[in-house]
Structures are given as structure tokens and as C-alpha cells.
Amino acid sequence: MAPLGRPIEEPTPLSFGRVTLRAVQRGDAEPLRRLLQRNRGWLQRWEATHPSGQGVVPGSVSMRPTVRLLRRQLRAGSGVPFAVLYDGEVVGQLSVSELSGGALQSAQIGYWVSEHVAGRGIAPTAVALAIDYLFDELRLHRVEICIRPENAASLRVVEKLGLRYEGRRDAYIHIDGAWRDHECYVVTRGDAAGGMLRRVG
């Protein structure tokens, strides 16, 4: 059964200003691969790795199998994969994962944006759009974002949106070849009355 006890319909595109979130499509595979390849120096420090040391370098192989997997997760209701667009161009990804129903009703968000469009407010807008979708459409109670303490750019996103700091998770996720600490930031539906987009400015 789907984690929320019900299927998740493919979300309609979500837009604010020049930023759009839409469900990842098969045609996104090559644009995403090129972005991951071009952004090695920008993204490598923050990317999940397998503790065995095995795995491919992001952007070095076709993204088609990954996109198929993400689409299956959406159909199964276990995740919501988004492409991030700026002026209609794919510039990154935002993934909703760790969906939980029952008494928890929560999810986690992870995201990245290409270096060539960094600093334009794209990530805060995309995250705000996603949180509003999770609260308004999926009726979740809680959303978490976990960030490495060294990742100043991502920390600015959650600070701009006013997420609540809950504490550090030691050796939480295997990132860039080692188990890394993460800072946990949270927002609940009650915290976000009026929607998150109003915090973007």
C-alpha cells in the first residue's frame, strides 16, 4: 500500500514568478544528465554516496533509468520527484521522499539547482512551492529538510523561509564518501498558515 494509504496523482505544474516545479518527465533525462555533468564541482560535496564506494558518478551515464524509477515512485505514492524550471529551462531537481502516513503524516525535501542560476531565489521559491503543495494537496502535517552544516547556500534557503531548527543528526547520511552530520529544519502545517510563498518576497 502507498505510504499515505492512497495514490498520489501527478501534480499539475506549480509556478511562482519565473520558477516552475513540475513532475519529472522522461524528456528531462538528458537535460538533467548534462546539468549534473557540468556541475560536478558545484554539487559533489553535497551528493549522497554508497558506503561501499560503489556507484556511478552523477552525469556520467544516462538518466533514463533514474527517471523511470522516479516515475514509478510517484505512481506507487512513495515519492514526488520534481524538475525545477527557470524561464522554462530545467535547472535542477527537487525530490519529496520519506513519505509517511498514519500518525506521522510527514515527508522530507531535498533539492539542487545549477550553479549558473544560483543566487536568483530559485531554490527558496521551489521549496516554498513544494511545501505548499505537500500541505495543501497531500494534507501532510510536517516537512523536514536536512542540510550539512557546511552548506551555507542551502542553510540560507531554510533561514529565508523561516523553518524551525530542530537540531543536529550526527553521521546521518553518507555524503561525498563519508557519513556526514546534518542540521534538521522543520515546518508544520500550523506554522505555515497563509502559505510559504508569502515568505519568499
Look up residue 198 and give its DSSP letter.
G
User: What pLDDT shows up at residue 167?
Assistant: 96
The answer to the question of residue 25 being in a domain is: yes
The answer to the question of residue 7 being in a domain is: no
The answer to the question of residue 104 being in a domain is: yes
Instruction: List, in sequence order, every beta strand (DSSP E) within the chain.
Output: 14-16, 19-23, 80-86, 89-100, 106-113, 142-147, 164-175, 178-188
Give the β-pairing of 106-113 and 142-147.
parallel
Q: Is 46:151 a contact under the CB 8 Å cutoff?
A: yes
User: What pLDDT shows up at residue 57?
Assistant: 66
What pTM was estimated for this model as a whole? Answer: 0.94
Q: Is 99:144 a contact under the CB 8 Å cutoff?
A: no
Average of per-residue pLDDT across 48-66: 79
Q: Which residue has the cell 543566487?
A: 119
Which long-range CB contacts under 8 A does 79-82 form with residues at least 24 apart?
A: 80/8, 80/11, 80/23, 80/133, 81/23, 81/24, 82/11, 82/21, 82/22, 82/23, 82/24, 82/126, 82/130
C-alpha cell at 137: 494537496
Helices (H), 5-109: 29-38, 40-43, 64-76
The answer to the question of residue 194 being in a domain is: yes
The answer to the question of residue 5 being in a domain is: no
Q: How long, in residues, is the chain?
A: 201
The answer to the question of residue 124 being in a domain is: yes
CATH of the domain at 125: 3.40.630.30
Domain with 171 in it: 14-199
pLDDT tens, 12-52?
999 999 999 999 999 999 999 999 999 998 888 888 888 88
The answer to the question of residue 76 being in a domain is: yes
Structural domains counted in the chain? 1
C-alpha cell at 125: 521559491
Q: Which residues contact 81 (CB under 8 A, 6 or more apart)?
A: 23, 24, 70, 71, 73, 74, 93, 95, 96
The answer to the question of residue 1 being in a domain is: no
Q: What percent of the chain has pLDDT over 90?
A: 77
pLDDT tens, 146-162?
999 999 999 999 999 99
